[in-house]
Structure 1
């Protein structure tokens, strides 16, 4: 029996990142958009696992940035904003589930996005919020699901997981979690 509903954030609760968002960040940094886009995603996994912001953006830009560089704050803010468009269908689902289930969030997210989500009023429906940056693990690694199960005090069969990425759904299902590929 499902005790916990475990939901992803990106493209479940939020809308997809707007098409021009990464291009706008490239413009902000004065970089070629295609190269910036490639590097944005190529270096994202360590950032989602807790890498410091200045190291991530240094990798994306291909040049060293100091931790206090003002460009970092601008890039972090633009990145968070790009992932902060909420999906009305996702919010509707949250409202329906909150009345009948215990909710937890599991997101691959850097600290800046995790902090923004934690500060959002809609996030209060979650009894627990788990972020890759704070766990040092990321989906689809089995270890992140095992850590979440432990912290929830739940067996795999007591959790239903919603994610927009098939690889994450398969990883959760391999552990015995009821896993649903979310498509609004």
Structure 2
């Protein structure tokens, strides 16, 4: 049984959330299809190049550099308007928020639980999220593009811990990628591998951050 489950007193001072596939949904098929049509290259080639160049983009290279590198990989000669279109469609594709996780964030905020965001994200997505109502309850937003570091590098977690002023064992972390969760655990952080809203609520209830009556609050999507 997790600490805090019996007493209702939490052993956690702050919860740090990933964004992609935790707060947001995966880019929907219709968004991906729009990008494929605009790119005008085989879909498999596009997505292979997209992910191959993504780490540098998350570390802070410009959109023009990133999409230029993707174009070179797929043998395309995209003009500036096409580069802009790919950038805009990509940013928008990551902004579809999960209703169940948004509800959890609302509950935590109402209870005064400290929370923060830690996301591997390029500049364009980070800029959009800074204006998002879903981010309003977070104490701090940490983006890889600002730090020049990406999960699962230990230094990015250490930066967050120092900025929040919390000990690893008093910090919870939620992410959908196993390698990011394992990296956090190696530092002593109480990390949860996100697999859906129900499991997330159970994790937070187990640490005394939500009540058991909240277990039915989110509607999984």
Could you say which TM-score interval applies, normalised by the shorter chain?
Answer: over 0.9
Give the TM-score of the pair, scaled to structure 2.
Answer: 0.78
Aligned match of 1:91:
102
Aligned match of 1:179:
191
Distance in 1 separating the partners of 2:77 and 2:173 = 39
Aligned match of 1:24:
34
The range that moved more, 11-20 or 31-40, is 11-20
Superposition deviation, residue 2 in structure 1: 0.8
The range that moved more, 94-103 or 43-52, is 94-103
Give the 4+ runs in structure 1 shifted more than 3 A. 63-66
Aligned match of 1:39:
49
**Rg comparison, structure with higher value:** 2
The range that moved more, 170-179 or 94-103, is 94-103
Aligned match of 2:85:
74
Contact kept, 8 Å, 1:14 with 1:87, in 2: the verdict is: yes
Distance in 2 separating the partners of 1:136 and 1:64 = 29
Aligned match of 1:3:
13
Instruction: Give unmatched runs, 5+ long, in structure 2.
Output: 1-10, 197-221
The range that moved more, 17-26 or 168-177, is 17-26
Contact kept, 8 Å, 1:54 with 1:65, in 2: the verdict is: no
Superposition deviation, residue 20 in structure 1: 4.2
Aligned match of 2:201:
none
Instruction: Give unmatched runs, 5+ long, in structure 1.
Output: none
Distance in 2 separating the partners of 1:10 and 1:36 = 20
2:164 matches 1:158: no
Q: What's the secondary structure of 1:125's corresponding residue?
A: coil
Q: Note the aligned Cα RMSD (angstroms).
A: 1.5
Distance in 1 separating the partners of 2:37 and 2:46 = 9
Distance in 2 separating the partners of 1:40 and 1:47 = 10
Query: Alpha carbons of 1:45 and 1:57: their partners in 2 closer, same or farther (altered >3 Å)?
Result: same
